A and B are shown apart, each in its own frame.
Chain A
Amino acid sequence: MEERELISRCQKNDIEAFERLILTYEKKIYNLCFYMLKNTEDAKDASQEVSLKIYRAIDKFKGESKFSTWIYRITYNTCMDYIKRRKDELSFDDIINSEGHLSNKVENIIENRELQHDIKRCILRLSNDFRTIIILRDISGLSYQEIADILNIEVGTVKSRLNRARESLRNELIKCGIVRGC
């Protein structure tokens, strides 16, 4: 069944169609939440909240943008609210613990787990803006235009910010000894 048809059915309060639709985007939502919030529990809560927001607002979706962009935008805004609400930023240990917990799950699948672990850790050390743009572009694989729509910025700003984010990530990778500085 096409996505448009599913959306249309959801707008008619078809819970089954909504379940199918949310299954498609669940992973993307959770990943953005996880990398933005750097915490599995918060990521779960935020994912639930995002799903609820989608359910409540799906009537208002008129198809003017891509549905995925619309969902990412809701997710991004929700995560930003979480970050604003959270008084104390998580300590580095929390990040490591959270990451370690995850890497244990993933290590059986990925061969070079240490490298992956280190890269993830370096990504999580980036500032919010840089981290978000790295996730959207390099992990989720969105186009510049989509990222611009989600973050509500110009495409040129997306490119320049992405460049600076990568430079920042490179510096982190140098600090970890993954990349040699020149």
Chain B
Amino acid sequence: MKYHEYVKKMQNNEYDFDAGMLSEFEVDVPDGLHLSIMNTIEKERMRKRNVWNKTFSSIAAAVIIFVISIAGFKDTLKLPAKLENQTAKNSTNLIEPKIEMNNEKSENLESKGKLIEDNKNNISIKKEEFKEKQNTATSNKKNKIKTISNEKRTLIALNDKKEESNYTNKNNITSDVLTSDNKMITIKPEEDSDDQVVPIGYIYSQANMSNISEISKSSLMTTLLASSLPIDYIATVDKNQKDIISFIYNNPNVILIDTNNSIYRLQKQDLSVLSNMINSQSMIYSETGINGINTYSQNNIREYYFVKITIK
């Protein structure tokens, strides 16, 4: 027994021991220690594996998100250019009918002036003043059209010239769009087409929105905008034609007017979703990723559905 020798050496103050003289003092490993060690190792192994799986799946998800976001970014890069072109195109389209409208206005006023003179009602319209006004208005209008894309506005498309040809202009000119601060551009269809030929459309200032009682767009817009859901698009949809007649992208810098082209970000299948949504009078149509609230309004000619769309 070496530890006896160890003690003897200690007794004699000799510290020159061989290594491991007290090796008999080694204690035995308690029962179950090996098992618990291996359990710990096994747990660690599983944890490592889970960590790897999680890491791998999160990397895969990140890659997918990255790819999707890159694709989306490309789309958004393309969109403004396309929109600019479209806005310019639409603006020119808008200018032309308005000029025509003003010409017609002047003709009508001239005829009215003649009638007034004949009837000696002391009402005269000075052609020159009117022309000046018209010129000023035309230039203002161009400026307005340029700035219109920088403000958040509601536009309701002007289309369907056939219908408009039947309208009258009586009591319709409530404000000169060219000098007022317009927030909404729309057509006001008139039922009582008595005597005169009507211009293709009228532009109403926001101050006169109350006149558009059939649709009450301003209150609708207020409701939509005040709602807590974020708005991506607001569309005005013609139920009968199953077509979007106006479409507003909720970006203050972008206004979309044109029916066909303004649905750039909406896929074709989304149109059918809108249509289904309207037909079912569903407030939320979530199956296809579109959430919307639709509001119905009607005049004699058309049914309007204002759909607030949130693309998921």
Q: Per-residue CB proximity of B5-18 to A under 8 Å, as 1/0? A: 01100110101010
Min Cβ gap A140→B in Å is: 7
Instruction: Say yes or no for A65: interface residue by CB 8 A criterion.
Output: no
Is A40 an interface position by the 8 A CB rule? yes
Q: How far is the CA of A27 from the CA of B26 in the complex (A)?
A: 8
A-B contact count (CB 8 A): 108
Instruction: Determine whether the beta carbon of A44 is less than 8 Å from that of B33.
Output: yes
CA A114 to CA B165, docked complex, whole Å: 122
Is B29 in contact with A116, judged by CB distance below 8 angstroms? no
- Spot the interface stretch: A70-78, A84-92, A161-169: A161-169
A51 at the interface (CB under 8 A from B): yes
Residue from A56, A116, A123, A180 in contact with B11 in the complex, judged by beta carbons closer than 8 Å: A180
* Residue contact A31 to B1, C-beta cutoff 8 Å: no
Quick check: B41 and A27 within 8 Å, CB to CB? Answer: no
Q: Which residues of B contact A163 (CB under 8 A)?
A: 15
Over the window 140-182 of chain A, the binary record of Cβ atoms lying under 8 Å from chain B Cβ atoms (1 yes, 0 no) is 1111000000000000000000110011011001000011101
Which residues in chain B, 91-131, are within 8 Å of chain A measured between CB atoms? none
What's the Cα separation between A47 and B36 when bound, in Å? 10
Contact partner of A15 (CB less than 8 A), chosen from B4, B26, B45, is B45
Q: How far is the CB of A147 from chain B (nearest CB, A)?
A: 9
B1 proximity list for chain A (CB < 8 A): 111-112
Q: How far is the CB of A47 from chain B (nearest CB, A)?
A: 6
A-B contact pairs, 14 of them (CB 8 A): A26-B29, A30-B27, A47-B33, A48-B33, A52-B40, A106-B27, A115-B3, A116-B25, A119-B22, A139-B20, A140-B20, A140-B23, A141-B20, A142-B19
